[in-house]
Chains A and B, each alone.
Chain A
Amino acid sequence: MPTITLERARFSHFVGRNVTLKEMAKWLPWLGTDTEEVGSDYVKIEYNPNRVDFCSYGGVARAFRGLMGWETGMPKFKVKQGNIVLTVDKSVAEVRPYVVSAVVRDLKIDYEAIRELMEMQEALHWMVGRDRKKASIGVHNLDAIEPPFSYVTCAPNEIKFVPLDKTEEMTPQEVLEKHEKGIAYKSEVDWASRYPLIVDRNGDVLSFPPIINGELTRVVEDTRNLFIDVTGTELNPISRSLNVLVTALADMGGTIESVPVEYSDHVLVTPDLAPQKMKLHVGYSNERLGLNFSEAQTIEALKKSRLDAKKVETGVLDVTIPAYRIDILHEIDLVEEVAIGYGYYNLTPTIPATVTTGKQHRVSEVAADVRQIMVGLGFVEALNFVLANEVDHYQKMRRKAEELVILANPVSTEYSIIRNDLLPSLMKNLADSKHHVFPQRMFEVSDVIKLDDDSETYTERRIHAAAVSSHPTANFTEIKSILESLLMNLGFKNWTVKETNHPSFLAGRVATVSLGNMEVGVVGEIHPEVLNNFELENPTGAFEIDLEKIIKAFK
């Protein structure tokens, strides 16, 4: 999750009054942030990705003033009409079709502000831009370039410019091959025949979106006026990113100026900070929260969440949402704003009136019975991962690996497939427990996943039970009597044990177990080669049964 480190003095400046670290640590979580760290003179908070506006001091301070009741209602931002034009060439439609823009003047930029500006861009690139795909931002020193500006395309090696953090000129093609950012983001443009570019009246390059800005427009400590571009694949995400950014810059002391963005068939004047409007039904809000608020109380809570609201008819409010709140999708989001404005700490728990009786799942009931019986028979329960690997589950068990459920992106070779039986897991447990006292008797009642053509996922989850008994005199008779004892205690009277062949077991000492005509499992003495593969010295008896079949047999 994204974080922001709020230095106390600077945060106080944005809030407009002196706040202590203690106040910050106490109250910020009631806005829905997590305190990561309280330092000597700062608080580091983690915020949720829906609150992109918390990527700046200004954004957090706005909400904080509201929560504390120091300033409520919707913050107002002025946009001065500007005359710096950005022209959009038709050819960008092929590669990165949309751009919006703004000018912000009269900023006092210091080291802290530059750092904040960079962090804001990173946060927006990640949360709204989906790693620059949907939206990417360029912030430029306006005084280093000459308007009007154009959003155009060029052939990969048509022009040269000095990209940010470099001293040599490169073509866009060379940027994609050599520059760190070019290598990281090349997939956004390298498929196109022409690359997007923002240039000034002299053809000087401001930016090669979404890859890198030009060194020419680098923002430094005495930069006062900014030109901002946001480009992307859709209009809404870039407009929203721009709104979050310019409102934060206005809170830093800047004056927002609009830019006419001239597309071939229309002109878009951006940024558009017109608030979003939505209705809130007070009854709906009360029903969800369990409150009995009047219209006035609801309005007061919304204002503390920095929204404006007025009553339009009984029980209905017109809510006005500032342009930087890009997370309000539905009326229910306003209900949460009421709760946050009122304070979660003011909500007292109630017990729901719903009366029902509880019940365990049939599979869990039978699993619990099996566990109890196995413990009674002197076995210790193990619980293993369903994630497995071919070596333990097939090679070491002397089996051919077939019909596997395989992971596309395993995190390690140890967990690359999904197990379809339990015994290999228990063999591994024995291997890990060699240094402990014998006899060793373990069991597992748990999940396996098998292929199944009829299911929605082409797989089927089943529950199995398996046990191993490992000690110097372990043999077929012992483990068979354990399995028979389990079946008897589960309430069965008749079963048949029939000799079979199984690669993991010793020939002549392995059998299938059936209830009626239904084969439910296998029991036997583990093959010496398998014991060797797991580096076990003692003979080991083992069984595995399919509990779903046992449940079927109950019926």
Chain B
Amino acid sequence: MEMGFTEIRGSIVQTAFWNFDALFQPQDHPARDVVDTFYLSHPKKGKLPKKDVVEAVAATHENGWKTGSRGWEYPWSPEEAKRLVLRTHTTPETIHYLFEHKEPPVKVFSVDRVYRNEKLDYKHLAEFHQIEGIIMDEKVTLRDLMGTLTEFYHKLGLEKVQFWPSYFPYTEPSMQSTVYVPELKTWVELCGMGIFRPEVLAPFGVKHPVLAWGGGLERLILLKLGIDDIRLLYKNDLGWIRRTPVCQR
């Protein structure tokens, strides 16, 4: 907020359309598999948005539509897109918001619940929190994204930051960031980021570049608290809560 971002909040249950299709993730993408994503059996399917948006997304997947992309070259299924999921990231809300706010500038963030179909162990949770932020404006660049993240990490007391090439289905170019944690004397991978692909923005009529980043909140908390079992955070053991200082600077 200090950096000028407005908080957004959206549905935890999403249609696959917003969670995957709107973000140019093909319907046979492994991340959409039941071993990775929670689907609902009741209610089972949701509703799709307006016809013209659905058609644009479908065409972008099938042949790139008018984006200049070759697309994913497969027949897109509206039924698959209606399936209800527990969102696997907070980005469906971001693209939803951009769809409704096309005029620049837009700077929004969320810190909110996301889900992965995973067995719980000391470093994995099936339900956790994602930090996400975007900047949409006429002339923002990949270097601006680096600058924004550097400032964000500085505010968390993390001084040394590096950016590496990476890959995400809905951003291009994409980056991964690592930060140096003096307490651990090591570099730790935190947020992933990039510029939203034209195939993501065009169907929703967004005309300006969108810088986006996201990462797990719990990872950051573990580093700050110096604990190594992530499950402790949601155990709500009264003794542990009473012992743990509120102030963590």
Residues of A within 8 A of B (CB): 29-32, 34, 48-51, 126, 130, 133-134, 234, 236, 287-291, 329-333, 335-336, 339-340, 344, 347-361, 363-364, 380-387, 404-412, 415, 418, 429, 432-433, 435-436, 440, 442, 447, 449, 451, 455-461
Given the complex, which residues of B lie within 8 Å of A383, measured CB to CB? 233-234, 236
Given the complex, which residues of A lie within 8 Å of B86, measured CB to CB? 407, 418
Given the complex, which residues of B lie within 8 Å of A234, measured CB to CB? 73-74
The one of B117, B141, B199 that contacts A409, using a Cβ cutoff of 8 Å: B117
Cα-based distance from A291 to B139 in the complex (angstroms): 12
Q: A354–B141 contact, CB under 8 A?
A: no
CB-CB contacts below 8 Å: B1-20 with A = 1-15
Q: Which residue of B lies closest to A459 (CB)?
A: B13
Contacts A380-B241, A405-B40, A409-B39: A442 and B46 contacting too (C-beta < 8 A)? Answer: no
Contacts A344-B163, A383-B236: A354 and B40 contacting too (C-beta < 8 A)? Answer: no
Cα-based distance from A31 to B117 in the complex (angstroms): 30
Given the complex, which residues of A lie within 8 Å of B84, measured CB to CB? 457-459
Additional pairs, 5, CB under 8 Å, beyond known A349-B143, A442-B236, A442-B238: A234-B73, A329-B69, A349-B147, A351-B148, A412-B119
Q: How many residues of B contact A (CB 8 A)?
A: 89
The one of B4, B40, B46 that contacts A355, using a Cβ cutoff of 8 Å: B4
The interface stretch among B51-59, B169-177, B222-230 is: B169-177
Cα-based distance from A30 to B165 in the complex (angstroms): 6
Contacts A349-B150, A353-B139, A406-B40: A329 and B2 contacting too (C-beta < 8 A)? Answer: no
B245 contacts the other chain (CB 8 A): no
The one of A385, A412, A432 that contacts B237, using a Cβ cutoff of 8 Å: A432
Given the complex, which residues of A lie within 8 Å of B71, measured CB to CB? 329
Q: A287–B141 contact, CB under 8 A?
A: yes
Cα-based distance from A368 to B70 in the complex (angstroms): 47
The one of A288, A291, A356, A410 that contacts B195, using a Cβ cutoff of 8 Å: A288
Contacts A352-B140, A354-B140: A411 and B70 contacting too (C-beta < 8 A)? Answer: no
Q: B13–A432 contact, CB under 8 A?
A: no
Given the complex, which residues of A lie within 8 Å of B119, measured CB to CB? 411-412
Cα-based distance from A380 to B140 in the complex (angstroms): 43
Contacts A48-B167, A451-B43: A411 and B126 contacting too (C-beta < 8 A)? Answer: yes
Interface string of B137-172 (1 = CB under 8 A from A): 101111110111111000000000001111100001
The one of A330, A335, A347 that contacts B143, using a Cβ cutoff of 8 Å: A347
B49 contacts the other chain (CB 8 A): yes
Q: B127–A436 contact, CB under 8 A?
A: no
Given the complex, which residues of B lie within 8 Å of A442, measured CB to CB? 236, 238
- 4 closest A-B pairs (Cβ-Cβ)? A290-B141, A48-B167, A290-B143, A358-B1
Cα-based distance from A410 to B34 in the complex (angstroms): 10
Subset of 30 A-B contacts with CB under 8 Å: A32-B167, A48-B166, A50-B167, A51-B167, A133-B28, A288-B173, A288-B209, A289-B142, A289-B173, A329-B70, A330-B70, A330-B172, A344-B163, A347-B143, A349-B147, A350-B144, A351-B144, A352-B148, A354-B105, A356-B6, A356-B105, A358-B2, A364-B7, A383-B233, A407-B41, A408-B41, A408-B44, A436-B237, A436-B239, A458-B84
Given the complex, which residues of A lie within 8 Å of B9, measured CB to CB? 361, 363-364
Residue of A34, A332, A387 most packed against chain B (CB within 10 A): A332
Cα-based distance from A339 to B42 in the complex (angstroms): 46
Cα-based distance from A289 to B233 in the complex (angstroms): 39
Cα-based distance from A32 to B175 in the complex (angstroms): 8
Cα-based distance from A462 to B241 in the complex (angstroms): 25
B198 contacts the other chain (CB 8 A): yes
Q: A406–B164 contact, CB under 8 A?
A: no
B213 contacts the other chain (CB 8 A): no
Cα-based distance from A290 to B198 in the complex (angstroms): 17
Report the minimum CB–CB distance from B111 to chain A (whole Å).
9
The one of B47, B139, B235 that contacts A287, using a Cβ cutoff of 8 Å: B139
B38 contacts the other chain (CB 8 A): yes
Cα-based distance from A361 to B7 in the complex (angstroms): 5
Report the minimum CB–CB distance from B12 to chain A (whole Å).
5
Report the minimum CB–CB distance from A222 to chain B (whole Å).
37
Given the complex, which residues of B lie within 8 Å of A357, measured CB to CB? 4
Given the complex, which residues of B lie within 8 Å of A418, measured CB to CB? 12-13, 86
B68 contacts the other chain (CB 8 A): yes
Cα-based distance from A117 to B151 in the complex (angstroms): 46
Cα-based distance from A351 to B173 in the complex (angstroms): 18
Cα-based distance from A358 to B199 in the complex (angstroms): 29
Cα-based distance from A226 to B8 in the complex (angstroms): 57
Q: Which residue of A lies closest to B24 (CB)?
A: A329
Q: B73–A457 contact, CB under 8 A?
A: no
Cα-based distance from A234 to B167 in the complex (angstroms): 25
Q: B127–A386 contact, CB under 8 A?
A: yes
Cα-based distance from A456 to B113 in the complex (angstroms): 19
Report the minimum CB–CB distance from A413 to chain B (whole Å).
13
